[in-house]
């Protein structure tokens, strides 16, 4: 197998990896905000459920969570899991990352001085307006570095999809390496992750720069 066939075979995996990455972000970034707000809910039961959810997600390996999402329906309910592989994968990733993002959001929201809320209240803004117009923009600026960290980790974590035998770039690299007795697929995969993260870091830096107009 020539280098160019290797790369072209693996490019399908790269697209799948990018797919996991984008879908996970699209799901977990907004879900994390909902979780962060529910964690501050007035209803103790809701707060309790959210706290358990966060602690279970943070306290167990993502790899194990993926296996549970995939095989759980069969072992627990005897359901057929045909066609469930990809949905299980995305569910696992989204719920995992939402928990981490929720904690980042919560830290950001709590770091905004009470005076900002009070100034908004005195000016007659509704609670929703205070959050959307005054608090959230400042939170986004403050949490950018932590979010960047998390997003970069996600790029690398997508490789855990190999646990469910999903053919993303890392699984393919392993397979091709074994069949061709070549080290090259790992070099290609490594380069792919590195370049992907370089792009992510560049993009996040641009966003941070764009938010630099105030302090």
Partner 1 sequence: MIIEMKNIRKHFDGLEVLKSISFGVDSGEVVSIIGPSGSGKSTLLRCATFLETIDGGEILYMGKKAAHTDESGKAVYVHHQELRAFRAYCGLVFQQFHLFPHYNVLKNLTDAPVKVQHRDPKEVEATAMELLKKMGIAEKAKAYPYQLSGGQQQRVAIARALAMKPAILFFDEPTSALDPELTGEVLKVIRQLAEEKMTMVVVTHEMPFAKAVSNRVIFMEGGLIVEQGDPKEVFDHPREERTKQFLRVFER
Site for partner 1 in 140-199 (CB under 8 A): 141
Using CB under 8 A as the binding rule, whether residue 124 contacts partner 1 is answered as yes
* Residue 16 and residue 35 in contact, taking contact as beta carbons nearer than 8 Å: no
Rg (CA), the chain: 21
Q: Whole-angstrom Cα distance, residue 37 to residue 143?
A: 16
Using CB under 8 A as the binding rule, whether residue 202 contacts partner 1 is answered as no
Backbone angles phi, psi at 137, to 5 degrees: -60, -40
Q: Whole-angstrom Cα distance, residue 195 to residue 207?
A: 19
Instruction: Tell me how many degrees the CA angle 113-119-125 measures, rounded to the nearest 5.
Output: 120
How many residues line the site for partner 1 (CB under 8 A)?
20
Q: How many Å separate Cα 81 from the centre of its chain?
A: 24
As measured in angstroms, the least distance from the Cβ of 30 to partner 1 is 21
Which one of 76, 82, 113, 209 is in contact with partner 1 (CB under 8 A)? 113
* Residue 135 and residue 116 in contact, taking contact as beta carbons nearer than 8 Å: yes
Using CB under 8 A as the binding rule, whether residue 110 contacts partner 1 is answered as no
As measured in angstroms, the least distance from the Cβ of 36 to partner 1 is 20
As measured in angstroms, the least distance from the Cβ of 123 to partner 1 is 4
* Residue 191 and residue 182 in contact, taking contact as beta carbons nearer than 8 Å: no
Instruction: Tell me how many degrees the CA angle 98-157-179 measures, rounded to the nearest 5.
Output: 150
Using CB under 8 A as the binding rule, whether residue 58 contacts partner 1 is answered as no
Q: Which is nearer to partner 1, 15 or 119 (CB)?
A: 119
Two tokens, residue 28: 């977990």
Using CB under 8 A as the binding rule, whether residue 116 contacts partner 1 is answered as yes
As measured in angstroms, the least distance from the Cβ of 184 to partner 1 is 49
Q: Which is nearer to partner 1, 39 or 141 (CB)?
A: 141
As measured in angstroms, the least distance from the Cβ of 132 to partner 1 is 10
Contact residues toward partner 1 (CB under 8 A) are 113, 115-116, 118-119, 121-126, 129, 133-134, 137-138, 141, 213-215
């Amino acid at each position: 197998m020539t280098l160019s066939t290797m790369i072209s075979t693996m490019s399908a995996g790269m697209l799948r990896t990018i797919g996991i990455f984008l879908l996970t972000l699209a799901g977990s970034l907004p879900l994390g905000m909902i979780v962060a707000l529910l964690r501050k809910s007035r209803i103790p039961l809701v707060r309790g459920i959210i706290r358990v959810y966060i602690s279970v997600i943070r306290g167990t390996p993502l790899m194990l969570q993926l296996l549970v999402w995939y095989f759980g329906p069969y072992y627990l309910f005897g359901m057929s899991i045909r066609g469930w592989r990809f949905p299980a994968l995305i569910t696992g990733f989204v719920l995992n990352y939402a928990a981490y993002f929720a904690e980042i959001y919560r830290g950001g929201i709590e770091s905004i001085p009470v005076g900002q809320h009070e100034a908004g209240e005195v000016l007659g803004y509704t609670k929703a307006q205070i959050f959307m117009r005054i608090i959230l923009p400042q939170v986004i600026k403050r949490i950018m570095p932590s979010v960047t960290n998390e997003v970069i980790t996600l790029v690398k974590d997508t490789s855990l999809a190999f646990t469910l035998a999903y053919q993303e770039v890392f699984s393919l690299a392993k397979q091709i390496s074994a069949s061709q007795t070549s080290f090259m697929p790992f070099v290609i995969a490594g380069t792919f992750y590195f370049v992907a993260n370089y792009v992510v870091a560049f993009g996040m830096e641009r966003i941070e720069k764009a938010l630099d107009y105030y302090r």
